[in-house]
Structure 1
Amino acid sequence: MNQLQAMRVFVSVAEHGSFGRAAASLAMSNAVVTRYVALLEAHLETRLINRNTRSASLTEAGAAYAQGCRQVLDDLERIETHIAHGVSVPSGILRVVAHASFSLHDLTPLLQHYLAAFPKVRLSLTLLHRPVDLIEEGFDAGIVAPRQVSGGTLIRRPLVSVAPIAVAAPAYLASHVANGVANRAVNGVAEGIAAPMRPADLARHTLLAPSADIHGNEWHFERADGTRETVLIEPAYAVNNSVMLRQAALAGMGITILPANHVAADLAQGLLVRMLAGWEIREADKELSLVYPGRRHVPAKTRSFVDFTVEWFRKRDVAMPRAGYAVNSPDTALTNSMPAIIRTSGNS
């Protein structure tokens, strides 16, 4: 027996006081309506309705049961309306995990505009460097490096690929002189005897680098003409956070390699200058993807965040093009020229 349907039929009979009128309102036959009521009475082992040829009246048990049925059916309708509203209108708590270094630079404006567009969503953000199991840890979506995430069937939407560049503070370059000739910067690019002109020159400098769990000590450089050099870096200072690396570079502690978007403002303001401008650092792009569980029915809050984030990055790339930054940028194959291996020291 479909008990919910039987309860709906019984309530209709109770309200209309007639099997025939209830059957007409429900677009059912009299026989079907009578059958549903009989099934309920058999299930409850009690008479609910007194029948005669003209009308149907509730027994004492039937009146109590009708009141209870109305409450159950009203509660069910409220629940279904709430769920249906949540499916179509983004609402509730959205749990997002994000790569910590990226988040400290670029995530707040995105989240600010998203919450303004969807005010019924409440956001819970977790920043991580470590790998994360999206489903096991209960996240709705993640903005993470591809190697950082796992967990069941996930849908991945590439967002951004940021190329790294070598940078240093003018104060560091001014203090690092050769034969008494100070370094200078022209249009944000370092020039002079103290500035490295090729990757091998890094051996004469103090180097700052991400820790080995983020990037190994081997860095690949390539010029436009296909010349390649591979440098083995032994940093004087290593840390697992790009914000700390940037701060160290700004403090004049040495030369470091950072994603271009992390230092774009510093370069524009002259707080940092670019090293090795004619060289591209290969196989080190920082890629970020938007990932979310591959369910058949994606909640409205998750779908809205996915669509908003993808569009946000697309618009930002169009409005703010800059060197070393590309949305959905594929890797470029290296040339076949033989690389040189140079071991650098962490101290000048």
Structure 2
Amino acid sequence: MNQLQAMRVFINIAETMSFGQAAAHLGISNAMATRYLDQLETHLNTRLVNRNTRGLSLTEEGEIYLKGCRNVLDEIEQIETVVLRATTEPSGTLRVAAGASFSLSSLTPLLQEYLREYPNVRLSLTLLHQHVDFVKEGFDVGIVLPKQISGTTLVKRSLLSVRPIAVASPGYLAGKGIPSRPADLAAHTLLALSSASHDGDWVFVSPDQRERRVTLSAALVVNNASMLRQATLAGMGIAVLPENHVLADLGNGALVQIMPDFHITNADKELALVYANRRHISAKTRSFVDFSIEWFRTNADRLTSMASVGKYPAQSPRDSRAPGKQPS
């Protein structure tokens, strides 16, 4: 028995006191309306409607059940309204996972602009310091390095790729000298990301496309790029860091890029937006996905280019669609 439909049939019978009118209102046959009421009474083991030659009337139990049915169906309608609104109007709490290193340096402007555009959404942000199962942990969307998460049926949208560069502080280089080729690093103190974040060795490619591999024997290994940057700024040694983490440091001279003619091939950082591949994606998730992709498209140069250090504030997608217009 479809109990919700049986309740609707019973309510219509009670309101019209007619099987025929109730059936017509619901688009079913008289026999079907009678069958639903019979099934409901059998299920409850009590008579809800008196039938006699003078017409229909509710029993005492029928009056009680009618009130309960109306309350149940009204509540279901309210729930469905809320859910349907959530599929069209972004609202509610959005659980966001983000790579800790990137978030500490660059994510705040994106979140600020998103909340300004979608004030009915609340963000619950978790910074990832280790690998997580994205779906099991209940996240709606993530801005992460793909190796930070796992989970079946995930959609991945690339946001930007940041090249790794070797850097050191001027103070460290003044004391230890400036390496000009990868082999020189054997005489230097090295700082590195842990194997969970990095492949272990540094692989340099020279301008003539010859590969040089440096096997790390690091004095400090850390699982967070922001902490590694701080150690490098303190003059503890040479590190390979994502360029966007040290743009300002390179611009103000706090750090110096070494061996700029060599490209490091095995430490590229691809930042991606991920979310579960579900048949129905909530409006809050869809709005964040679309907003983030446009935000990164608008701000990619600022996030990854030395040319933009200290020059331009973050732009929102709305700002980029209206050149020359001052943001409100």
TM-score by length of 2: 0.82
More helix per residue: 1 or 2?
Answer: 2
The equivalent of 2:259 in structure 1 is 276
C-alpha distance in structure 2 between counterparts of 1:324 and 1:201, whole Å: 29
C-alpha distance in structure 2 between counterparts of 1:216 and 1:50, whole Å: 79
The equivalent of 1:239 in structure 2 is 222
The equivalent of 2:325 in structure 1 is none
The equivalent of 1:296 in structure 2 is 279
The equivalent of 2:188 in structure 1 is 205
Q: 1:163, 1:324 within 8 Å by CA — same for their partners in 2?
A: no
Q: 2:229, 2:241 within 8 Å by CA — same for their partners in 1?
A: yes
Structure 2 alignment gaps of length 5 or more: 309-328
Distance 1:47 1:235, change over 3 A: closer
Q: Percentage identity across aligned positions?
A: 58
> Once the 2 structures are TM-superposed, how far is the Cα of residue 221 of structure 1 from its aligned partner?
1.4
1:211-257 Cα deviation digits (max 9, x unpaired)? 34433553121233323322234333332222122112222333221
Distance 1:166 1:56, change over 3 A: same
Matches within 5 A, 1:169-318: 169-176=169-176, 194-317=177-300
> Once the 2 structures are TM-superposed, how far is the Cα of residue 263 of structure 1 from its aligned partner?
0.4
Distance 1:303 1:262, change over 3 A: same
C-alpha distance in structure 1 between counterparts of 2:32 and 2:221, whole Å: 78
Structure 1 alignment gaps of length 5 or more: 177-193, 326-348
> Once the 2 structures are TM-superposed, how far is the Cα of residue 65 of structure 1 from its aligned partner?
1.8
> Once the 2 structures are TM-superposed, how far is the Cα of residue 320 of structure 1 from its aligned partner?
5.4
Distance 1:26 1:234, change over 3 A: closer
SS of residue matched to 2:257: strand
Distance 1:67 1:216, change over 3 A: closer
Pair member with larger Rg: 1
C-alpha distance in structure 2 between counterparts of 1:29 and 1:53, whole Å: 21
> Which one-letter code corresponds to 1:139 in the other structure?
F
- 1:46 counterpart = 2:46: yes
Distance 1:15 1:257, change over 3 A: same
Q: 2:251, 2:306 within 8 Å by CA — same for their partners in 1?
A: no
Distance 1:236 1:47, change over 3 A: closer
The equivalent of 2:20 in structure 1 is 20
Matches within 5 A, 1:149-164: 149-164=149-164
Distance 1:159 1:116, change over 3 A: same
SS of residue matched to 2:137: coil
- 1:30 counterpart = 2:30: yes
Distance 1:219 1:14, change over 3 A: same
> Which one-letter code corresponds to 2:241 in the other structure?
L
Matches within 5 A, 1:41-190: 41-51=41-51, 55-176=55-176
SS of residue matched to 2:246: helix
> Once the 2 structures are TM-superposed, how far is the Cα of residue 261 of structure 1 from its aligned partner?
0.2
C-alpha distance in structure 2 between counterparts of 1:107 and 1:62, whole Å: 59
> Once the 2 structures are TM-superposed, how far is the Cα of residue 52 of structure 1 from its aligned partner?
5.2
Q: 2:156, 2:274 within 8 Å by CA — same for their partners in 1?
A: yes
C-alpha distance in structure 1 between counterparts of 2:257 and 2:49, whole Å: 88
> Which one-letter code corresponds to 1:134 in the other structure?
F
SS of residue matched to 2:142: strand
C-alpha distance in structure 2 between counterparts of 1:212 and 1:70, whole Å: 61
Q: 2:96, 2:124 within 8 Å by CA — same for their partners in 1?
A: yes
> Which one-letter code corresponds to 1:257 in the other structure?
V
Distance 1:265 1:48, change over 3 A: same
TM-score by length of 1: 0.78
> Once the 2 structures are TM-superposed, how far is the Cα of residue 74 of structure 1 from its aligned partner?
0.9
Q: CA RMSD in A?
A: 2.7
C-alpha distance in structure 1 between counterparts of 2:159 and 2:189, whole Å: 34
C-alpha distance in structure 2 between counterparts of 1:217 and 1:32, whole Å: 71
C-alpha distance in structure 2 between counterparts of 1:9 and 1:56, whole Å: 14
1:72-120 Cα deviation digits (max 9, x unpaired)? 1111111221222222223333222222222222222222222333333
SS of residue matched to 2:278: coil
In the comparison of the two structures, how many residue pairs are matched?
A: 308
Q: 1:9, 1:33 within 8 Å by CA — same for their partners in 2?
A: yes
Q: 1:162, 1:324 within 8 Å by CA — same for their partners in 2?
A: no
1:52-74 Cα deviation digits (max 9, x unpaired)? 56743322222222112111111
C-alpha distance in structure 2 between counterparts of 1:27 and 1:98, whole Å: 51
Distance 1:29 1:211, change over 3 A: closer
More displaced stretch, 42-51 vs 221-230: 42-51
